[in-house]
Amino acid sequence: MFHKEGFKIIFIALIIVIGLSLLANLFVENPTIRGGVIISLIILLLLVLQFFRNPKRNFLVHPNQILSSVDGKVVVIEEVFEKEYFNDKRLQISVFMSPINVHVTRYPVGGKVVYSKYHPGKYLVAWHPKSSEENERTTVVINNDAFGDVMFRQIAGAMAKRIVNYAEVNQEVDQASDSGFIKFGSRVDIYLPLDAKIKVVLNQKVKGGVSIIAEKE
């Protein structure tokens, strides 16, 4: 299964691979070179397909727990001062996604969208300390019955050039449902209340909509 954000790119990639393969068959006489070109094109297509994959998972609702929004590795767990929306201290958990990870973004909690904003910006590497404030990003805040307001931020990396965000203010959303997509490498920051109990450790690998990252004390 593939994410809808990849349909156009997959179609274009398929046409290019087929077209160049036909040209290689027609104009490249050396069979070794011709075979190498065709194999390289097939590998390129497979890379595009794996990037936009959207595997089926058994999502369970956890009303008193917060789920990871994305697949990847936990790279930050710290207390920070969040100044875009809260203007106070929050617990920040950041998950870095490599190009080989599933890049679907999911709602970490269910509730009502109370804030959703896109910010144009730079394309620093996603693990750069200033990427959460200077890179292209979106910020979404969900009001949740158990945790109050929970923020998550999609951050473009050095390779990512487009963030897709489906969240709209006043929209009611379900935990683990699809909230967007980040194309080609990125990171997601989640900002939690200080009394949330963290359930992950640095460098732990997590799965979007499945892995529990925090719960109520």
Q: Which residues are catalytic?
A: 186
- Strand partners of residue 76: 94
Q: Are 108 and 150 in contact (CB under 8 A)?
A: yes
Tell me whether residue 65 is exposed, middle or buried, using C-beta atoms within 10 angstroms of its C-beta: 0 to 12, 13 to 18, 19 or more. buried
Sign of CA dihedral 99, 101, 102, 107: negative
Q: Are 128 and 158 in contact (CB under 8 A)?
A: no
Sign of CA dihedral 156, 172, 215, 149: positive
